Every structure is written in structure tokens, then in C-alpha cells.
Amino acid sequence: MGKGQLIFVGLGLHNEEGMTLRGLKVTREADVVFLEHYTSLMPGLSVRKLEELIGKPIKVVDRQVLEEEDAEPLISEALRGRKVVLLVPGDPMIATTHVAVRLKAEKAGVRTSVINGPSIINAVVALTGLQSYRFGRMVTITYPEGGVLSRTPYEVLWENKARNLHTICLLDARAEEGLYMTVREGLEVMLKLEEELGRGLLRPDSLAVGIARAGSPEPVVKADSIKALMDYDFGPPPHTLVFPASLHFLEAEALKVLTGAPDWVIRCGA
């Protein structure tokens, strides 16, 4: 039998309505549809509604299938000549897990393609008004492992600040354990890293932006000092953090108007 296809389709950020029309069309045409939603929390997603939307059953796969089993069930279906779709949160290739699966499939002789979906990157730009070309490397703030904090988020922030670039910090999501890091927890980690490394990068009065439930009908976005954000109620996850570099005057105004930032943020604009 001829080789099939494996198509990665982005679902967007909140629920099944975030998928593009092209993604919906391709998914309806698929022979087999898989879904993973452990790499990012989609609080409004209903598998039942998604099945009704595409008109066929969905096989939910977890971390073990995609990472420990090298996506063997998906690739096996494609090698039987079938058109296979993997639905993923956000944009398909933001998570390195999906890049690895794609490479595995290509090496096995399976044709792959990607249908993009809304991602946290363009959502952050839209929600904050910060200019897209002024963002540096993105990083994830993780929970401690064995009591030890990864220094990577602090190092990335340091590098981006040195280049006067904004930093998007994704927050740890451990779906199997029901753990989703909050803005407060992310800030606590960063302040602890400041204590450990002591470079004067972050202070309680440093500017940061907290975002909750990006892509939903009612996201929460707030720019303020770290101290103020740690006491702000962002509601349920998923949460995201942004550490701005110096602000263009339009960016400062955007944070004031769009996120309710205090007046002192306007003075940060040049």
C-alpha cells in the first residue's frame, strides 16, 4: 500500500473554534484523527464538540504515545496509506515534541505537512500592543526539579535585555499532574533566581505583564510592577508572563490603554 500522510493541525488557544477553515476542511477529510492536549492547556476545549464539528471520532493521545513510543500509532496508520491528522493546541510547531514527531515520520517515509493555528506568540503581541519585531528568544519557566531551579529563564531574560528585546515566558504545564504554573508562581521563581544569581536584573518594582487565558473571549491582561502582579487575581490558567525591555512611546501607551498599566509606565516610553 502507498505511503500516507501525517498532517499537523493547530487548534488555536482556547477551544475548538480556534481552528482555521483550512484546518477544519483537512480534518474532515482525514481517515484517522488524533488529538493531544497535554503540551498546552485549552480550557474551553470539548472533545465531544470537536468530534461533532469534524464529523468523526477522535483518538486522544498522551505524552507516552508521542514521546516514549515515538508516535508509533500515528506513523503506523500513515504507513498503511491513510491520511492522518494530529490536532494540537496553538500552532503545531511551537512545541518541540511535534517537531520530533514530524522528523520521525519523514524518516519513515511518511509525507508530512503543517496547518498553522493561532499561537501564544501572536496572541501576546495582540493583547499587549508590544511590537512584534522587538521580541527575543522565548523561554519556559519550570517548576523546580529535586528542589533545583533551572537557570535558563533568567539567562534568556538577561540575554534579551542586553539586546533591548522583550521576553515571553511560557509557564510550566504538567497536565498529567494537573499542575499549571500561575503568574505569581512564575514571578516567585524569577525572583528566587535573582537572589541566586544576583545580577540586578529584576526588582519588585520592575515592569512585567501577566496574561491569562489568551485566545478566550475574555482574556485577562495586566501590566504593572512585579510586586503588584503577584497580588493580582488573574483567575484560572493558562497563564503567560512577559518582561518588556525599554518601551517605544506607542508601546507604553498600548500597555496603559490595553492592559490598565499605571501612569508610571507611560514615563518608560521614549
The tens digit of pLDDT for each residue in 215-227 reads 999 999 999 999 9
- CA-to-CA dists, residue 219 to 17, 167, 239, 252, 261, angstroms: 16, 20, 10, 20, 16
Domain that holds residue 98: 5-115
In DSSP notation, 103-152 reads HHHHHTT-EEEEE----HHHHHHHHH---GGGB---EEE---BTTB--SH
Q: What is the mean pLDDT of residues 108-126?
A: 93
pLDDT band at 262 (very low <50, low <70, confident <90, very high): very high
Mean pLDDT estimate for the chain:
92
The tens digit of pLDDT for each residue in 50-88 reads 999 999 999 998 888 888 888 899 999 999 999 999 999
Residue 250 shares a structural domain with residue 142: yes
Please name which of 140, 144, 143, 149 lies closest in space to residue 196, comparing C-alpha atoms.
Answer: 149
- The whole-number pLDDT of residue 131 equals 95
Residue 102 shares a structural domain with residue 128: no
CATH code of the domain covering residue 16: 3.40.1010.10
- The whole-number pLDDT of residue 1 equals 45
pLDDT band at 269 (very low <50, low <70, confident <90, very high): low
Q: What is the mean pLDDT of residues 5-30?
A: 94
- CA-to-CA dists, residue 180 to 10, 171, 183, 238, 262, angstroms: 21, 7, 10, 7, 28
The SS3 of residue 221 is strand
115, 142, 168 - which closes a domain: 115
Residue 101 shares a structural domain with residue 206: no
Residue 90 shares a structural domain with residue 198: no
- Is a pLDDT exceeding 90 seen at residue 171? yes
The secondary structure of the chain in percent helix, strand, coil, rounded to multiples of 5, reads 40, 20, 35
CATH code of the domain covering residue 185: 3.30.950.10
- Is a pLDDT exceeding 90 seen at residue 164? yes
Residue 183 shares a structural domain with residue 99: no
Q: What is the mean pLDDT of residues 173-183?
A: 87
Residue 57 shares a structural domain with residue 127: no
Residue 196 shares a structural domain with residue 155: yes
- Is a pLDDT exceeding 60 seen at residue 141? yes
For 10-23, give one letter per residue: b (16+ CB within 10 A) or e.
bbbbbbbebbbeeb
Residue 156 shares a structural domain with residue 79: no
Domain count, the chain: 2
Model-level pTM?
0.89
